[in-house]
Amino acid sequence: MMNYHLDNQTYAKILTMTPRGDSDESPWLFLPDELLLYILSFLSQPDLARVASSCQHFYRVAMDESLWRNITLTKRSDLSDEMLCYIGQHSPQILRLLQCTGSTVTERGLRDLFKGCKDSLKELNFSGCNGGALTGDLVLLHASSRCHNITSLDASWSNATNNGAMAVADISKRLEVLCVNGCQSITDEALNYVVNRHGSTLQVLEVFGCFNIKQQCLLGMAQNCPNLRVLNMGQCYKVTDKLIRQMASKLKSLEVWDLRGCKQVQDESVHQIVRCCSGLQTVTLANCPLVTDVALVEIATYLPNVRCVDVSGCRNVTDSGVRAFANNSKQLTYIDLSSTAITTKSVTLLGSYCSRTLETVKLSFCDITESAVVKLVKNCPRLHTLHVIGCKRIRNDGAIKVANSKVAVELGRK
């Protein structure tokens, strides 16, 4: 990335070279469009709209299509039909409305939005949206009526049902990403339909909390989605240890597998996972009560390049498992050992063997000492996030900050 920082002398020289004559106009107006575009690329869309309203010159540059290909609005509580129409007029390729509220949004606003981006829209994410017509199936049905180029859809926590998911799957030419986390009305009917139409292209599937999806459907998905890289089936409590072993043998390309809250998962299924899915980079087994140190040993042995591991809430994980894991995992960047049976020994092991790569460490509600944590953060130059919530022997983050001021420490106390 180019460095556009100018000292005062250089800036003054540039001003003298600017073809302003005796004009009193702002020197900003004489900057090359390319430089202005670069500067404006750091602004959010609402800020771009404000810049555009300042003058005709800035309006022309701020309305450049390159600045509106990716539109993201987060936690906006003022979405309206007019705003959605305005977004549609910019024909975005990527549209993310994250946890937004649209109490006054009507179906007219949705029609105008998707009419405007019918040919351009490829990625749609409206996870966590609510209010007015800005809800699951209404959004999906309007999107499906016009936008046939959608390849990525995230309707998580939107109360979407089979009707909406199937409508998008029906019109999409190539669906690669489908996320319906928390949509409890999604059943086998929708997932089977998606897999039948897009199984060969599907790369990301997230059905966290969709507990109405049955085992046979999940097994069929594994058999018919050979290119799946990311699978989140957390809190799907009907999942059995046997099913996991059967699925693992089919999912050879998997890189991320989230099984949090699947109470029946055992060490035996982890044994099968690590042997069949050798490309796994992220393994999440949080709150799987039957998982023990054996699972960590398996991961360390057969996935030496694993980067992220979450076994939080697994009470049978102890220092023994972490010892084997730390000795072999040389690429580890993220580990969550919160609410496990580990002690200070594990903290010392991580600081000794994984110090070069660790970026995030979560040790909440563990029996660990402040001195061990201080040594950990001192030894880990890349560490930026540390969670020690509920660790009774850590009273404040003062000593931790002295050891490594770059680390964001979460104590859970005000």
SS (H, E, C) the chain: CCCCCCCHHHHHHHHHHCCCCCCCCCHHHHCCHHHHHHHHCCCCHHHHHHHHCCCHHHHHHHCCHHHCCEEEEECCCCCCHHHHHHHHHCCCCEEEEECCECCCCCHHHHHHHHHHCCCCCCEEECCCCECCCCCHHHHHHHHHHHCCCCCEEECCCCCCCHHHHHHHHHHCCCCCEEECCCCCCCCHHHHHHHHHHHCCCCCEEECCCCCCCCHHHHHHHHHHCCCCCEEECCCCCCCCHHHHHHHHCCCCCCCEEECCCCCCCCHHHHHHHHHHCCCCCEEECCCCCCCEHHHHHHHHHHCCCCCEEECCCCCECCHHHHHHHHHHCCCCCEEECCCCCCEHHHHHHHHHHCCCCCCEEECCCCECCHHHHHHHHHHCCCCCEEECCCCCCCCCCHHHHHHCCCCEEECCCC
**CATH (domain of 403):** 3.80.10.10
pLDDT score for 24: 65
Q: What is the CATH number of the domain that holds 38?
A: 1.20.1280.50
| Contact (CB, 8 A) for 334 and 355 | no
* Angle of the 81-89 helix axis to the 107-116 helix axis, nearest 10: 10
Overall domain count for the chain: 2
Asked whether residue 159 is assigned to any structural domain, the reply reads no
pLDDT tens for the chain, residues 1 to 414: 444 455 667 656 655 655 554 556 677 777 777 888 888 888 888 888 888 888 887 888 878 888 889 999 999 998 999 999 999 999 999 999 999 999 999 999 999 999 999 999 999 999 999 999 999 999 999 999 999 999 999 999 999 999 999 999 999 999 999 999 999 999 999 999 999 999 999 999 999 999 999 999 999 999 999 999 999 999 998 899 999 999 999 999 999 999 999 999 999 999 999 999 999 999 999 999 999 999 999 999 999 899 999 999 999 999 999 999 999 999 999 999 999 999 999 999 999 999 999 999 999 999 999 999 999 999 999 999 999 999 999 988 899 999 999 999 999 865
The pLDDT assigned to 52 comes to 83
In a domain, 166, yes or no: no
Q: Would you say 389 and 362 are in contact if contact means Cβ atoms under 8 Å apart?
A: no
pTM tops 0.85: yes
Q: What is the pLDDT of residue 22?
A: 53
Rounded Cα distance between 157 and 140, Å, is 13
Quote the pLDDT of residue 377. Answer: 97
Of 20, 38, 67, at which residue does a domain stop?
67
Establish if 186 belongs to a structural domain: no
Torsion on CA atoms 218, 269, 210, 387, rounded to nearest 10: -150
Q: Is residue 347 part of a domain?
A: yes
pLDDT number for residue 363: 98
Q: Is residue 52 included in any domain, yes or no? A: yes
Give the pLDDT confidence of 307-346 residue by residue, as tens digits: 999 999 999 999 999 999 999 999 999 999 999 999 999 9
CA dist., res. 206 & res. 203, Å (int) = 10
Nearest to residue 45, comparing CAs of 3, 4, 106, 88? Answer: 88
**How much is the pLDDT for 2?**
45
Q: Does residue 334 lie within any of the structural domains?
A: yes
Q: Is residue 271 part of a domain?
A: no
Q: What is the extent of the structural domain holding 52?
A: 29-67
Of 13, 42, 67, the position where a domain reaches its end is 67
Q: What integer pLDDT is reported at residue 1 of this predicted model?
A: 41
Domain end marker among 14, 44, 67:
67
User: Is 118 a member of any domain?
Assistant: no
